[in-house]
């Protein structure tokens, strides 16, 4: 049965040694199976391949209850179907190069199973999850592609009314960093932390506010605290746009990283400003 709608599913990666071996043994299936889309997969699907892009690669962090290190991924196919995944413990290092943020891959013969209902966030999500076993094969779509670098944009070029799923890489001069993270209690009675950073660049006379959340609001901000003493140029990746009563700003996403020594012509121009 085919489901023609945008969906989100969850992937669980396990037995990383077997998966790494499968990565190296591409001749086993040679990726010749029929290509399908994520919304065509079910527990009865056995031989298949799917082309996906890693649209989000979260930062590794410990779970709040058990302290187990985990990392989330979000995969998307050409029909905009989405599939969420999680790496745990030493799997994170084992899959560090197997899945690169914004990289495109073909995945073959990953078993599809019913997902635990607790992971389901909305009616649009699939009721299945993908697991990686000995027969699973992961292959980059372009094996000769070079490293994927940040695509820095100017502040003025960021649309004020863009798609909520759009992400932006920004480089700028730090004008201000909050001294400490602020604690906020959400409507779900969860405590989250936020810290504001203000930057500027050549393109705009209006400084840009960036709100960084939770793990990024802590030690990652500390190297920026010297903004009042010296010229600090920093890059931010995968920021999302937010509109509110106070105007327009950017906020961190699950994939956001700080680049403390940014490279490229935009960064070089700001360092000489």
CATH label of the domain that carries residue 210: 2.40.50.140
Q: Please indicate, yes or no, if residue 145 is contained in any of the structural domains.
A: no
Residue 30 has what pLDDT?
53
Same structural domain, 265 and 176: yes
- Asked, for residue 3, whether it belongs to a domain, the answer is no
Query: Bridge-partner residues for 234, per DSSP?
Result: 172
Q: Quick one: 172 and 250 in the same domain?
A: yes
Extract the tokens encoding 58: 């979260």
Check whether residue 177 and residue 259 sit in a common domain.
yes
What is the pLDDT at residue 1?
Answer: 41
- My answer on whether 17 and 126 are in the same domain is yes
Within-domain flag for 147: no
Which pLDDT value is given to residue 106? 92
Question: In this predicted structure, what is the pLDDT of residue 131?
Answer: 73
Contact by Cβ (8 Å): 83, 130? yes
Neighbours of 251 (CB within 10 A): 16
Number of independent structural domains in the chain: 2
Burial of 42 (0-12, 13-18, 19+ CB in 10 A): middle
Based on the fold, state whether residues 14 and 112 are members of the same structural domain.
Answer: yes
Q: DSSP character for 189?
A: S
Residue 37: predicted pLDDT: 94
Task: Answer for the pair 98, 23: CB distance below 8 angstroms, yes or no.
Answer: yes
Encoding tokens for residue 179?
């001294």
Indicate whether 20 belongs to any domain.
Answer: yes
* Count of CB atoms situated within 10 Å of the CB of 62: 11
pLDDT in tens, the chain (273 residues): 433 334 445 555 555 554 444 444 555 455 567 889 999 988 899 889 999 999 999 899 888 778 889 888 888 999 988 888 777 888 788 878 888 999 999 988 877 877 766 655 556 667 777 776 677 788 999 988 888 999 999 999 998 877 878 999 999 999 999 999 999 998 878 899 999 999 999 998 899 999 999 999 998 898 898 887 888 999 999 999 987 766 789 999 999 999 999 999 999 999 888
Eight-class DSSP state of 264: S
170 shares a domain with 72: no
> Is residue 61 located within the same domain as residue 20?
yes
Domain that holds residue 255: 152-271
- My answer on whether 178 and 87 are in the same domain is no
Biggest CA pair distance of the chain: 62
Q: Verify that 135 and 157 share a domain, yes or no.
A: no
What's the CA gap between 255 and 48, in Å, rounded?
29
Domain-ending residue, one of 109, 140, 171: 140
For residue 55, the SS3 value is strand
């Amino acid at each position: 049965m085919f489901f023609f709608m945008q969906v989100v599913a969850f992937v669980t990666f396990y037995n990383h040694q077997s998966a790494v071996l499968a990565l190296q043994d591409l001749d086993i299936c040679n990726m010749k199976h029929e290509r399908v889309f994520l919304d065509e997969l079910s527990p009865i699907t056995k031989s298949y391949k799917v082309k996906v892009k890693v649209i989000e690669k979260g930062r590794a962090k410990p779970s709040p209850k058990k302290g187990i290190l985990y990392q989330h991924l979000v995969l998307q196919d050409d029909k905009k179907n989405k599939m969420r995944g999680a790496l745990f413990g030493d799997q994170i290092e084992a899959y560090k190069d197997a899945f690169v943020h914004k990289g495109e891959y073909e995945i073959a013969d990953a078993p599809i199973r019913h997902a635990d209902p607790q992971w389901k966030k909305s009616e649009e999500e699939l009721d299945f999850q993908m697991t990686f076993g000995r027969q699973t094969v992961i292959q980059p779509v372009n094996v000769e592609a070079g490293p994927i670098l940040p695509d820095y944009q100017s502040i003025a070029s960021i649309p004020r009314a863009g798609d909520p799923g759009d992400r932006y890489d920004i480089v700028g001069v730090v004008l201000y960093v909050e001294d400490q993270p602020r604690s906020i209690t959400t409507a779900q009675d969860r405590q989250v932390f936020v810290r504001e950073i203000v930057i500027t660049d050549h393109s705009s006379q209006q400084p840009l506010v960036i709100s960084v959340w939770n793990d990024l609001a802590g030690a990652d901000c500390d190297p920026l605290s010297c903004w009042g003493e010296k010229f600090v140029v920093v890059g931010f990746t995968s920021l999302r746009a937010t509109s509110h009563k106070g105007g327009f700003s950017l906020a961190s996403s699950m994939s956001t990283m700080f680049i403390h020594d940014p490279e490229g012509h935009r960064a070089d121009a700001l360092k000489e400003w």
